[in-house]
Amino acid sequence: RRISKPGWGVCGVGKISNDFTIGLFQNGSRVRAAAARDEARAREFADKFAAWGHSVERSYGSYAAMFEDPEVDVAYIGTLQTTHREVALAAIRAGKHVVVEKPAGS
């Protein structure tokens, strides 16, 4: 039985998310989507990786929209630190596995 690779979704499109996404591509992961508070920034992020020969398949203008994507299995939370808890909990509520860039606070 062949197990497919999980689909990653990247929340936030700043430097830390950029560096994490490079690592995902280096280890052969599938990056299904990127999300930002501004859809144009998420699209720029995806386009930048496309220019390097990698596919970020979709871009979203909200994290909630990305969490509705059934092909996103794991959400990487690379947003501003003050939003980590809120965004991580939203992903968990949507049934996603979560990796947070820094530990979440209370």
106, pLDDT greater than 80: no
Mean pLDDT of all residues in 74-97: 96
Give the torsion sign (CA, 20, 103, 39, 33).
positive
Identify residue 33 by its one-letter amino acid code: A
Q: Where does the pLDDT of residue 63 fall: very low under 50, low under 70, confident under 90, or very high at 90 and above? A: very high
pLDDT at res. 94:
98
- 9: which residues sit within 8 A by CB, 6+ positions away? 31, 32, 33, 34, 35, 66, 67, 69, 72, 74, 75, 76, 96
